[in-house]
């Protein structure tokens, strides 16, 4: 059974850091690109970052470049999103998703086959 489980969310002050984890099971992680998306109340789900299968190319939304870093540990079947210099605008539910191969348009939610349930990130003083 394919499963993606996010963890690591929480409440953090502006300027703080969090590391999100996406634990995968039921499939071979290195055959899949993993994307991180977020959705704030009343807004569309948006792509935050993606790491491709096999060559580990990394992609970031302009709003998080230089602040967020995506990485993968295939041995432990986990993908991470290190988030630094957090801003109130980063507040959202964060989801990880898996796409076989590497999607041609990594921000397109339709390109992903499996989704996690999400973890809440709140940036507030």
Model confidence at 34, pLDDT cuts 50, 70, 90, reads very high
pLDDT for 13 equals 98
Average pLDDT over residues 42-64: 94
Cβ atoms of 31 and 72 closer than 8 Å: no
- Per-residue model confidence (pLDDT) at position 71: 96
pLDDT at 102: 82
The Cβ of residue 125 has, within 10 Å, a number of other Cβ atoms equal to: 8
Q: Output the six-digit token pair for 79.
A: 């993908």
Distance CA 35, CA 50 (A): 4
**Is residue 42 scored above 90 in pLDDT?**
yes
């Amino acid at each position: 059974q394919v499963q993606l489980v996010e963890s690591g969310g929480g409440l953090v002050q502006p300027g703080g850091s969090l590391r999100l984890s996406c634990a995968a099971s039921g499939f071979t992680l290195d055959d899949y690109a993993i994307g991180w998306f977020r959705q704030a109340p009343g807004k569309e789900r948006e792509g935050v970052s993606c790491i491709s299968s096999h060559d580990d190319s990394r992609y970031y939304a302009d709003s998080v470049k230089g602040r967020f870093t995506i990485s993968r540990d295939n041995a432990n079947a986990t993908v991470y999103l290190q988030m630094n210099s957090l801003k109130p605008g980063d507040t959202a539910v964060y989801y990880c998703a898996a796409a076989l191969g590497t999607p041609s348009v990594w921000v397109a939610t339709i390109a992903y086959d499996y989704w996690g349930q999400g973890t809440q990130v709140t940036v507030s003083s």
